[in-house]
Structure 1
Amino acid sequence: MNENEAFDPQQFKAEARDSWSRAAIGWNVHTPQIRRWLANATSAMLDAANILPGSCVVDVAAGAGDQTLDAARRVGPNGYVLATDISPNILHFAATNARGHGFDNVQTMVADAENLNLPAASFDAAICRLGLMFCPDPKRSLQEIHHALKPGSRVSVLVYSQVERNPCLAIVMQTALEYAGLPWPDPYMPGTLFSLSRPGDIGELFASAKFHDITTSAIPAAFSLPSAFAYVEFIRTSTSSVMRLLGMLTPSAREAALLEMESRLRQFQTPSGWEGPNELLLTAGAR
């Protein structure tokens, strides 16, 4: 979409559903690396949601469900986790992974984060790991979560911090845009990687959705891999927004863009491997 086109949230969601369906296999394949990358942030997110044994938890935009299984471990056999996502393809992996790890306290449901259609006051906690920023109307999503939570229960959400705090993502996005002949868009445009990264924005959204006791903290989340090439392979197969841009290119231009990304990312190579800096924002609030 260029800046002269009116934003169509339904078209955006349809494209997002298709993009994440194409990225599903790659995201699932890279789960071990993603798990290491987000381990500390995920643990902090679960703590902030006050997930306890016996809790009923909804995981919004759950993806392949790595953090869903962490929540399932915490709630134990007397608890329950519902994983939702707009993409049935990626949610299939969440269900398969839950069964494969022996979790019978996990269920999945295909659902738009802005239209969860869950019973009122039916959950003890809600989590959303790197999903809320992709919602065209994140306030609506938070209102849906608020509706589903019991009074006094908590929600916690992880999103990307500002562009300059996530230079690796900025590099791959900038390179893909350059090769596609597109300008760098407004980073706070709804539904994009950094849409909720502006200081104070996500806290204001929580407040507007009637949450209280709201806190936001920054969490460093370096991505450690053997090489810049390994990171580019992860991005190429798993990151829907970059995959969408690369899909606009001819095969030769796409290969050139990937090589350029790798070259620019080598600045983060260390003697012990590649370590790409990232920063996330953890925001939590009470119903």
Structure 2
Amino acid sequence: MAITADSIRDQQRLTWDRFAAGWKKWDAELIAWHRPFGEAVIEDARLRPDSVVLDVAAGSGEPGLTVAALVPGVQVVLADISAGMLQVAEEKAAAQGLGNVRFSVCAAADLPFDDGTFDAVLCRFGFMFFPEMRAALREMVRTVKPGGRVSAAVWGRPAENPWASLVLGTLAHHTELPRPPAGTPGLFRCSAPGFMTRLFKEAGLVEVTERSVSTDLVHSSPDSYWEFMEDIATTMAAGLANADQHARSLIRSDVFQMLGRYEHQGALRLRSTATIVAGTRV
């Protein structure tokens, strides 16, 4: 069967529904780890106290829920292709008593909102996985008001992100992973410096800014890190699925050995770097 944008989205929907339980399990750790990236996306969106905000590829709720909690006058819509992930976000919103949040299960390339609905559109760690990035960005630009901002985060280069590249490099060493066609969804697809700026400018956005933000993924032990990655990292799970039991054992052993270089003051600290890009609709 030919690989199409629709077939990729169908697979992504199933995958993220399956991983929703893992994201719920590690919610506190994920929020702490991703906080600097979410704060940067929010800052560059230039929100007002009465803004109407769309969070695309919101997953389990961030950074949209942070916006809703920080600015009670803001109205926030969380959109994601996965109903399972949005269910986690909805449970979190209810637990926090947030009444200014709505939810929409939809694809980024086909947003069910009128033109110029939102004052800002946020997208943290979604672009890399969109099968049609330019179509998704066109939809974000269409649904934001003139003068409104589109603000996003994508993962930086592999060398700046050992939290993921450590495992992915080891997987590639021990398994016969097919090389994906250029431009297909993947963790580091948007990592080249200037890539997102060009994308935003091509979409007609102005006042485009791009900057890097870094933090550490912190875990108490290799076992904790491995369990975390198995539960939340879809790319790692796909790689392990292609390995037999012997290869999986070797991969785990090699990763644990390499993690030793990231020990600092009794914990593992793995660098994590994202590119934050934002632009204004004319």
What TM-score, normalized by structure 2, do the two folds share? 0.93
CA displacement, residues 158-210 of structure 1 (integer Å, 9 cap, x when unaligned): 10011111123111112223333225657x63311011111111111101111
CA displacement, residues 200-246 of structure 1 (integer Å, 9 cap, x when unaligned): 11111101111110000011121112123222211111111111222
Residue equivalent to 2:37? 41
**C-alpha separation between the residues in 2 aligned to 1:264 and 1:160?**
22
Matched letter for residue 14 of structure 1: D
Matched letter for residue 71 of structure 1: V
Unaligned 5+ runs, structure 1:
none
Taking a change above 3 Å as real, the CA distance of residues 138 and 95 of structure 1, as seen in their structure-2 partners, is same
2:265 is the alignment partner of 1:271: yes
Residue equivalent to 1:257? 251
Aligned length: 281
Match of 2:239 among 241, 245, 248: 245
**C-alpha separation between the residues in 2 aligned to 1:22 and 1:251?**
22
Unaligned 5+ runs, structure 2:
none
Q: Is the 8 A contact 2:219 2:268 kept in 1?
A: yes
- Percent of aligned pairs with the same residue? 28
Question: What secondary structure, in the 3-state scheme, does the structure 2 residue paired with 1:285 have?
Answer: strand
Q: Is the 8 A contact 2:177 2:239 kept in 1?
A: no
Matched letter for residue 141 of structure 1: A
Q: Is the 8 A contact 1:180 1:248 kept in 2?
A: yes
Question: What secondary structure, in the 3-state scheme, does the structure 2 residue paired with 1:222 have?
Answer: strand
Residue equivalent to 1:110? 105
Q: How does 1:1-287 map to 2 (within 5 A)?
A: 7-76=3-72, 78-182=73-177, 189-287=183-281
Q: CA deviation at 1:272?
A: 3.1
**C-alpha separation between the residues in 2 aligned to 1:119 and 1:75?**
24
Q: Is the 8 A contact 1:225 1:273 kept in 2?
A: yes
Q: CA deviation at 1:277?
A: 0.7
Q: In angstroms, what is the RMSD of aligned CA positions?
A: 1.8
Q: CA deviation at 1:255?
A: 4.0
Q: CA deviation at 1:95?
A: 0.8
